[in-house]
Amino acid sequence: MEKQGNKDQNSLKRLRLHFLTGLVVLAPIVVTAYILWKLFYAVDGLLRGLLTKWGLFELIGRQIPGIGFIILVLLIIFIGMLTRNFVGKKMIELSDTVMARIPMVNKIYTTVQQISQALLARKTVFRKAVLVEFPRRGIYAIGFITSVSKGEIQKKTEDEMYNVFLPTVPNPTTGFLLLVPKSEMTPLDMSIEEAIKLVISGGVVSPDQLIGSNGNTRSQQSEKGKDRDVDPEWINMFRDSSENIT
């Protein structure tokens, strides 16, 4: 009887373990699908309401599910094409100027713009993710090199100085500007995007959990290329930065 009881108890533990494992695997998938589904219907419903108000569906004779979402995608593509020419760039500059002069609105507009540029743009203001000792020695924080220090700052310091943006958590659009000597920075092998995700998540999403372009996790990639030397990339980055000043 005692052995039978132990077997039943072990079976329950295994079932509980399997259940928790399945929950951990399914939770991100279900939540992501739910958010995308809600977002799709919110956008589609908003634009569908406008199309109904304008009488488009009366001309067609029936409702078309997803038409609002499709129109939004086409509109975004059109705006992207428009902003790549001279007239579009001037329009964007004008809208930036107008938004920057409206109190309260300018802060929201600038914040959203910075997040979009940091996460979506191919080229960002960040050149490299680095570790710096902050707020005291022995404690490290992730920072992003934005440029090489110039002018008076460089002249009055002995070491080669770099401007490092140190974002706050969980809002990475605010932070500190640190002027850090080259010798006191530790380069990171992770990409800018991976470092931003690590900061925004508060350390929950680590680079080892992120999937690379080849389908492997960062830990798998590091195992395959752990003997890879990252110093040349670091040196080239500094050389490119120095060339941009001269």
Backbone angles phi, psi at 209, to 5 degrees: -95, -10
What residues have CB less than 8 Å from 106, skipping those under 6 apart?
Answer: 99, 100
How confident is the prediction for the chain on average, in pLDDT? 75
230 Cβ contact partners less than 8 Å away, ≥ 6 residues apart: 187, 189
The answer, yes or no, to whether residue 240 has pLDDT greater than 60, is no
SS3 of 227, please? coil
Collapsed DSSP state (helix, strand, coil) of residue 144: strand
| 113-120: long-range contacts, CB 8 A cutoff, minimum separation 24 | 114/173, 115/172, 115/173, 118/172, 118/173, 118/196, 119/193, 119/196
Give CA–CA dist 106/112, Å, rounded: 10
User: pLDDT tens across 33-56, in order?
Assistant: 888 888 877 777 777 777 676 666
Q: Residue 137, SS3?
A: coil
- Reported confidence tier of residue 57, pLDDT bands at 50, 70, 90: low
Q: What is the pLDDT of residue 104?
A: 82
Q: Are 162 and 182 in contact (CB under 8 A)?
A: yes
pLDDT of amino acid 221: 44
Q: What is the pLDDT of residue 193?
A: 85
pLDDT category of residue 120 using cuts at 50, 70 and 90: low
The torsion angle over the Cα atoms of residues 200, 43, 72 and 29, rounded to 10 degrees, is 50
* Domain ranges across the chain: 128-245
Q: What pLDDT is recorded for position 237?
A: 46
Of 34-48, 167-181, 231-245, the poorest mean pLDDT is in: 231-245
172 contacts 118 by C-beta, under 8 angstroms: yes
pLDDT tens, residue by residue, 65-89: 677 778 778 888 888 887 777 777 7
Place 141 in a pLDDT band, splitting at 50, 70 and 90: very high
Q: Give residue-wise pLDDT tens across range 158-168.
A: 889 999 999 98
Q: Is the dihedral of CA 171, 172, 174, 175 positive or negative?
A: positive
